[in-house]
């Protein structure tokens, strides 16, 4: 097991509220959290990809994790809601300023490409609507092999009873395909009172079709795998960066080839293969 | 696919009845094998103030030391090994670390050093160990047990150097550490303390007197009901003292047949408590019973540390949702006793 | 699931191993409300928890027996007892309770154990500085 993490705390411009969410997460025993910036491109107009706020601007002093002597670790994450394949831009420089990269596909086709192709860490499962598609075994297995994880968020289930039904139904449908592997449970909390403790989430995981051990992994070791996955992904894009410093023409030919290469290591990292 | 929502994680309760006069009784080993005790609570029925003998036993509980940011390789310091590990019993336990999340370490009185490590740390350390019993299919946690009294672990020995290199150059573990020594106390730990940031702590004693308690018949009550009743007494559940408990809130009642205790005393002590001191306390309680009336009894509950890598002896211990490992000793006037040993999901059966 | 093994060495000695035999589970919980000044009596708290059971598990859930063993109105901390088979249901409905009379709330589950005594000796509460 590794430390408990909540890789999805919703970003809000209200600094006090965000601070209290981070403090509550530390108090509940989470050692690592990620501030999530949502991005939902629409067809009509071009939108800016958000840029993450430096952590020290969000919170003055990082709170100490409950019962430990170390402060909480705060990361940044971007979630792109995809309703069209053009919404995810594989080499966008803006993505690089985030520690974690997630997509939320809205169609079966996009779900398939998210599982099989996109260079991402997390696939968000929608919990606010009845899923318009089934989770097919093949793409799910593909994602598991590549070390990409599926994320279920529970705070919608606290806010609203209809959402609760969708959350549980979609969770059970996901578990049928992935058998409890590569699943993380996060809050997507907007307010401190929407956060729940690690053991509460473990117990809630049983309702989602996870076993005791799988549910605990879903907030600890699987999250850790996600962080490692993200690090390798970022290092891989770092290679592209260095090649760019060389003279222009050769570099432009080389870059795409490199980027294909760097998708490979993500799939074969040993800690995810088990 | 759906998981059975009626199931709860495993728990074990061992109930044993014997007598202090029986030569084959195992009480001493049961008391001594739970090395890392966090809290001891005593219930004295029909008693209004702490008997002076008992008071003095409680105040003589050994002090313990908190060392901040102890680099683990300091436990292999030659001088420390000679004054604390080879002589007497040393008790050390990592503090502010959680067994289901972090690396945890225990130094046991028999000279064994137990490291419960996550997979990364285990591989980086490069020392022989075995996967945790509670890891199910994914082997994420490993337990390394090292006998520091073994000849290969003597300073300069092969195993010693390997571990020292591992802990200094590859895996430089640092953690807050609780330490205590029997019988040497702080003096025996001095070689280590002198290099570190430390503080001395005295176990904290608290006393409450209770009145008008319904009480079951301890000799015949079934183990779970008795433990529940005792738990209710220790958590101050009021429905046991008032008859007016409304049925809507709680249906908890004292098991029948019951009597009423006009008064009782609850004494507890908290800290890193040594089994030797607990043993001493048990002896004193026996003397107390001998001096008191015939039908008298007393109970002693000892809670182990939740995040200790071991519970009884070197049995592996872990936390699934709660890491309970405790025993309740119920002593009677005629030298017979009942002992209840309880553990949670990530624990093996108590001795 | 339940196994008793008894062995008699001498007349006075008896040992019984009870596995998963705990009839109840115990929870120490604390209710956090958005408006800290809200007063909540023991009866109101119990009723509130029953509402939670009912929304998540229907009438069958509302019929689940649990006891409010102790309640401190100032800290809104309570000890609950529930039959072991009902633990997951009670716990999950506490987790998913998000509103008390239109104000946000959260149940903080502080400890859960098959032994009430374990709730009185949690070493994670040890504070030394």
Domains and CATH numbers, chain A: 5-222 (3.20.20.140)
Q: From B338, B262, B329, select the one nearest B42 (Cα to Cα).
A: B329
**pLDDT score at B254:** 85
**What are the boundaries of each domain within chain B?**
12-61+203-343, 64-201
SS3 B269: strand
**pLDDT score at B136:** 66
In tens, the pLDDT along C29-61 reads 999 999 989 999 999 999 999 999 999 999 999
Beta carbons of A193 and C96 less than 8 Å apart: no
Dihedral sign, Cα of residue C86, residue C87, residue C90, residue C92: negative
Residue corresponding to tokens 């097991």: A1
Nearest to A1 among B1, B2, B100 (CB): B100
Dihedral sign, Cα of residue B7, residue B9, residue B14, residue B15: negative
Q: Is B336 on the interface with C (CB under 8 A)?
A: yes
pLDDT greater than 60 at residue B349: yes
**Residue A35 C-alpha from the chain's centroid:** 10
**pLDDT score at C78:** 95
- The predicted complex's ipTM stands at 0.90
Q: What is the topology classification, in CATH, of domain C24-120?
A: Alpha-Beta Plaits (3.30.70)
Task: State phi, psi for C91 to the nearest 5 degrees.
Answer: -60, -45
Chain B contacts of A213, Cβ < 8 Å? 136, 138
Q: Is A207 on the interface with B (CB under 8 A)?
A: yes
Chain A interface test: which of B3, B7, B138, B307 (most A C-beta within 10 Å)? B3
* For A270, nearest residue in chain B (alpha carbons): B120
CA–CA distance from A216 to each of A158, A201, B103, B132, B320 (Å)? 20, 8, 17, 16, 8
**What are the boundaries of each domain within chain C?**
24-120
C11 confidence band (pLDDT: 50, 70, 90)? low
In tens, the pLDDT along B252-291 reads 888 888 888 888 999 999 999 999 999 999 999 999 998 8
Q: Is B231 on the interface with C (CB under 8 A)?
A: yes
Nearest CA-CA distance, residue B133 and chain A, Å: 13
Share of chain B above pLDDT 70, in %: 96
Beta carbons of C20 and B11 less than 8 Å apart: yes
**pLDDT score at A89:** 81
Distinct helix (H) and strand (E) counts, chain C:
2, 6
Mean pLDDT value across residues B324-351: 90
* For C66, nearest residue in chain B (alpha carbons): B250
Tokens found for residue A234:
């970022």
A182 confidence band (pLDDT: 50, 70, 90)? very high
In tens, the pLDDT along A96-118 reads 889 999 999 988 899 999 999 88
CA distance A103 to A121: 8
Task: State phi, psi for C87 to the nearest 5 degrees.
Answer: -60, -50
**pLDDT score at A261:** 38
CA–CA distance from B269 to each of A20, B259, B275, C121 (Å)? 36, 28, 13, 10
* For B10, nearest residue in chain A (alpha carbons): A212
- pTM for the full predicted model: 0.89
**pLDDT score at B212:** 87
């Amino acid at each position: 097991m590794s430390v408990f993490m909540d890789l999805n705390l919703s970003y809000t411009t209200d600094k006090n509220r965000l601070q209290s969410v981070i403090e509550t997460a530390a108090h509940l025993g989470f050692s690592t959290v990620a501030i999530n910036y949502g991005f939902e491109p629409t067809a009509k107009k071009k939108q800016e990809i958000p840029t993450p706020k430096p952590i020290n601007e969000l919170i003055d002093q990082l709170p100490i994790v409950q019962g430990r002597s170390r402060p909480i670790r705060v990361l940044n994450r971007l979630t792109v809601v995809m309703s069209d394949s053009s919404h995810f831009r594989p080499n966008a420089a803006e993505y690089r300023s985030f520690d974690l990269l997630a997509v939320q596909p809205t169609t079966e086709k996009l779900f398939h490409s998210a599982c099989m192709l996109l260079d991402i860490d997390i696939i968000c499962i929608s919990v606010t609507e009845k899923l318009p598609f089934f989770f097919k075994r093949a793409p799910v297995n593909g994602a598991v092999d590549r070390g990409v994880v599926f994320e279920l968020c529970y705070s919608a289930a606290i806010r609203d009873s209809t959402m609760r039904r969708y959350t549980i139904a979609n969770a059970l449908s996901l578990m049928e395909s992935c058998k409890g592997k590569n699943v993380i449970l996060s809050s997507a909390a907007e307010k401190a009172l929407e956060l729940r403790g690690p053991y509460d989430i473990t117990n809630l995981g049983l309702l989602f079709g996870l076993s005791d051990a799988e549910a605990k992994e879903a907030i600890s070791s699987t999250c850790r795998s996600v962080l490692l996955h993200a690090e390798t992904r970022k290092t891989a894009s770092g290679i592209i960066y260095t090649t760019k410093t060389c003279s222009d023409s050769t570099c432009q030919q080389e870059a795409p080839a490199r980027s294909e290469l760097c998708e490979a290591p993500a799939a074969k990292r040993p800690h995810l293969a088990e | 696919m759906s998981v059975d929502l009626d199931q709860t994680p495993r728990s074990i309760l061992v109930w044993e009845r014997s007598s202090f006069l029986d030569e084959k009784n195992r009480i001493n080993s049961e008391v001594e094998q739970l090395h890392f005790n966090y809290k001891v609570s005593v219930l004295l029925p029909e008693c209004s103030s702490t008997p002076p003998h008992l008071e003095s036993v409680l105040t003589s509980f050994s002090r313990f030391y908190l060392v901040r940011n102890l680099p683990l390789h300091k436990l292999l310091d030659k001088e420390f090994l000679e004054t604390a590990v080879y002589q007497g019993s040393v008790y050390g336990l990592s503090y502010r670390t959680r067994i289901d999340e972090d690396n945890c370490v225990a130094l046991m009185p028999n000279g064994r050093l137990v490291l419960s490590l996550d997979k990364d740390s285990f591989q980086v350390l490069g020392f022989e160990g075995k996967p945790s019993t509670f890891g199910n299919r994914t082997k994420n946690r490993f337990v390394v047990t090292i006998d520091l009294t073994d000849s290969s672990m003597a300073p300069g020995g092969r195993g010693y150097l390997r571990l020292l290199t591992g802990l200094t150059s590859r895996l430089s573990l640092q953690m807050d550490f609780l330490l205590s020594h029997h019988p040497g106390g702080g003096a025996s730990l001095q070689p280590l303390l002198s290099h570190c940031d430390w503080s001395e702590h005295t176990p904290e004693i608290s006393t409450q007197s209770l009145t008008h308690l319904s009480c079951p018949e301890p000799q015949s009550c079934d183990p779970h009901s008795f433990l529940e009743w005792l738990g209710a007494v220790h958590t101050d559940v009021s429905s046991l003292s008032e008859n007016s408990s409304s049925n809507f809130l709680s249906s908890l009642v004292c098991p029948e047949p019951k009597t009423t205790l006009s008064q009782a005393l609850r004494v507890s002590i908290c800290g890193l408590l040594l089994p030797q001191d607990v043993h001493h306390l048990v002896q004193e309680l026996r003397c107390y019973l001998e001096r008191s009336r015939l039908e008298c009894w007393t109970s002693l509950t000892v809670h182990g540390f939740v995040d200790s890598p071991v519970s009884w002896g070197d049995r592996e211990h872990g936390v699934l949702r709660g890491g309970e490992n405790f025993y309740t000793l119920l002593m009677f006037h005629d030298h017979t006793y009942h002992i209840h040993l309880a553990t949670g999901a990530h624990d093996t059966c108590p001795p | 699931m339940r196994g008793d093994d008894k062995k008699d060495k001498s007349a006075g000695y008896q040992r019984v191993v009870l596995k998963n035999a705990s009839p109840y589970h115990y929870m120490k919980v604390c209710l956090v409300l958005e408006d800290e000044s809200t007063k909540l009596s023991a009866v109101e708290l119990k009723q509130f928890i029953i509402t939670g059971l009912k929304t998540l598990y229907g009438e069958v859930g509302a019929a689940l027996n649990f006891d409010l063993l102790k309640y401190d109105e100032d800290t809104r901390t309570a000890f609950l007892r529930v039959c072991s088979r009902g633990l997951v249901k009670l716990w999950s409905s506490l987790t998913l309770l998000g509103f008390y009379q239109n104000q946000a709330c959260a149940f903080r589950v502080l400890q859960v154990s098959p032994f009430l005594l374990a709730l009185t000796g949690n070493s994670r509460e040890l504070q030394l500085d």
